[in-house]
Each structure stands twice: as structure tokens, then as C-alpha cells.
Amino acid sequence: MVLEHGRMTDEGIASLRSRTGSYYRIDPYNDVATKDAIRNCATAIGDYRNPLWRDEEYGARTRYRSMIAPPWFFYCVSNITGMRAGGLPGVHAFHSGTDWLLLASAKLNDTISPSYRPIDVVEKRSEFAGRSLIVYAEGAYTNQRGDVVAKAIGWSIRVERSAAKDKGKYSGIKVHSYTPEELERIREDRHNEQVRGAVPRYWEDVQIGEELTPIVKGPLNTSDMLAWQTGALGGESHGFAIRHFRRHPAWSYRDPKTGARDAIAQVHEQDSTAGGIAIPAAYDLGAQRNSWIMQVMTNWVGDDGWLKAVICEYRRFNLYGDTQWIKGKVTGKLIKDGEHLVQCDVWAENQRGEVTAPAQAMAVLPSRRRVSSAS
């Protein structure tokens, strides 16, 4: 077995619960929204068409008067999950969802400071591994002016690796082999991606039931994962990684071929490591799919809209070789506190027709009434 197997004991759970409410030190991946950091964050998920986060001169002509970072840039500052609470060595953790409130943009050269604290531990039963824990954490992102620009509640599921192996929920899943026709459909859907951009999408024109133009991601491969890792999260290597493993031994495992320590995060890059938790292939990070959910919304709302809130759950694994279509539709419209709001259901759906990440989003759109009264 590649990964060590720990046990979920009552004493360990009590110790983990004792950590809730305490703030943890955060070393941001990116703490300044430089031009390169913003572009790299967009490139990390293949969002190369939206000039708001790629073109400084374009951004200066928008209502922001600046190039801005995409909303998933806050993931690139710090990923708020329950994992950082630690505890229960050898008991695996999966990032399982995030609830975002997006209050303002991170503008070019803003400094963003994150906070983090675990807030709850809930025991439940799961199909994947039986007894499990959900560990919730909350974070806030504050700019150099002291303004809180985003808030997040993220959660992770903790399971025993041996129990996941015994359950074998994913044992029948095979890496997908694509026909030429399937690959042509993916290429066509990618070509049809639309970015609203400078053309306003007015609240009055939106119809309940209206579908968002989908985007497609995949088939997922190592290059996609490395792009996310380097563009969004940075990485730990050589002496830095060794120091980290010494301080937090449970975040590493011993490679059976070399005998050297390596990061548990190799479940996202190596099939053999993912097999240690009964997953048939390496798989993505939940934050990536949440970012894709955000992208289909920012494509749709345009420069004059604003993605205000997203709650996304990661229900199934996105394996190497899987393709995800990010789809959505309008489910509601309302006016609240002077804002013209649109509610949307959004989801990631793979080539098997499985919904892997359901989400709900709230966006603010410009109103024709305001334009009329202003004129």
C-alpha cells in the first residue's frame, strides 16, 4: 500500500474539535495582485479570452478603472478548507466544497491578507468510506485599505483510507478512451465558448430558465494539473518540502520505489498514490472545479455585472481522462437592497453524464432602469 493508514478514534476526533475557533497562521501563495499573478491565475484554468484579467489598458476603460483579478484569485491567495486544522494522522482529507461571498474585486497591485480558522467538526456516514468527519473552516480576505473583499467557508471530509479501500465505491470506474467524434465535440464546444465582455447584460432582459453558454474542461491531464499548481498555488520542493515534511509528517508518505518522502498531494498527479485511497486514477482539486464554475458565470455576466456569491460542492472525483462540461441556467430574479440579482444553478457534468460538482450562484446585473434614470 502506497499511503499509510490511520484510524479515526474518539480521542483523535475530540482533539480535532478542540482546535476549532483558533486562528492559524497563513503563508499566502500570492499576497499581491501583480499583473503576472493575475494573468497566471487566469491561465491556470485556461481562461485566456477575458481581457478583464489579461489586459491592463482594457481594465482601465471599464468601471473598475483597473485591471482586476478573477474571483478565483482568492484561491490563489489561500485555499480555505478544513485540512489545515490537521489532526488524525493517516486519515485522508478531501476538499469537498466552498461557500464564497465576493464583496469586491482584487485590483491590480492590491495586497490581500487572508485569515483562517476551523469552526466546526461534524460526524457523518458516507458511501465512500463509512464513518467520516466534515471539518469546516472560515476565512476572510482583506486588502491593504482594510476592506474585506471576500469571505469563504470551506469544508473537507476526513475518511480512513482502509475503509475507502474496503468499500470500493469507484472500483468499477475506468479511465475513459475517447472516440474521434467525442474529441471533435469537445473541440467544438471549446470553440463556442462566449465571453460577454463590454456588452452589458441587463437584468430586465434575463429570463428564468435561460441557459448559460457552457464551457468545457478536459480531458484532464498532467499538464492541466501542473498549470493549476504553478499558476494558482505555487509549490513546495527540495529543501522547502523537506522542512515542511519534518514539521508535518502526516502530509507526506514514503515512495515505495525510492524510499524518499513525497507529498500526499501526489494523489493529484500519480495514479499509484491515488490508488492508496481507492481512487482508480489521479484526480483534480476541488478548487479547480469551483474556479470553472466561477468562470462560466464571469463569462456570462460581462464587465458590468458582478459575481457576488457561489456555493459549490464536490460530489464526485474528476479523474485524469475525464472531461467536465460546466453548465448553468437562471432559476430566479429579485431586487434586494437596491441590487438587481440573478440566481443560477450551475454544475460540472462529466462525459458519463454524472454531475460531479453542483453549485448555486448569485450575480448582480446592471439595470436598464438605472441607465434610464441616470440619463
Q: What is the pLDDT of residues 219-266, one digit of tens each?
A: 999 999 989 988 887 766 666 566 666 766 666 667 777 777 777 677
* Contact (Cβ atoms closer than 8 angstroms) between residue 159 and residue 92: yes
Residue 283: pLDDT above 80? yes
Q: Which set of grid coordinates corresponds to residue 286?
A: 476541488
| Lowest mean pLDDT, pick from 7-16, 19-28, 310-319, 365-374 | 365-374
- Comparing 231 with 207, which gets the higher pLDDT? 207
* Contact (Cβ atoms closer than 8 angstroms) between residue 200 and residue 372: no
Which pLDDT belongs to residue 85?
A: 84
Which pLDDT belongs to residue 92?
A: 85
Q: What pairing do the DSSP bridges indicate for beta strands 355-364 and 339-350?
A: antiparallel
Extract the runs of DSSP E, i.e. beta strands, from the chain. 91-102, 112-114, 117-126, 130-143, 148-160, 215-217, 252-254, 261-263, 306-313, 324-336, 339-350, 355-364
Which pLDDT belongs to residue 251?
A: 61
Confidence of residue 84 (pLDDT cuts 50, 70, 90): confident
Q: What is the pLDDT of residues 51-63, one digit of tens each?
A: 999 999 999 999 9
| Lowest mean pLDDT, pick from 56-65, 190-199, 234-243, 327-336 | 234-243
Q: Residue 303: name the closest of 204, 206, 217, 202 by CA.
A: 202
What's this model's pTM, rounded to 2 decimal places?
0.92
Residue with cell 469507484: 170
DSSP, residue by residue, 283-343:
B--HHHHHHHHHHHHHHHH-TT-EEEEEEEE--S--BTT--EEEEEEEEEEEEETTEEEEE
Q: Report the percentage of the chain scoring pLDDT > 90.
A: 67
Which pLDDT belongs to residue 125?
A: 81
Average pLDDT over residues 170-198: 93
Q: Report the percentage of the chain scoring pLDDT > 70.
A: 89
Which pLDDT belongs to residue 245?
A: 67
3-state DSSP call for residue 15? helix
Which pLDDT belongs to residue 374?
A: 46
Q: What is the pLDDT of residues 130-183, one digit of tens each?
A: 788 999 999 999 999 999 999 999 999 998 876 666 566 777 888 899 999 999
Domain boundaries, the chain: 1-172
The CATH number for 1-172, chosen from 3.40.30.10, 3.40.50.300, 3.10.129.10, 2.40.170.20, is 3.10.129.10
Residue 322: pLDDT above 60? yes
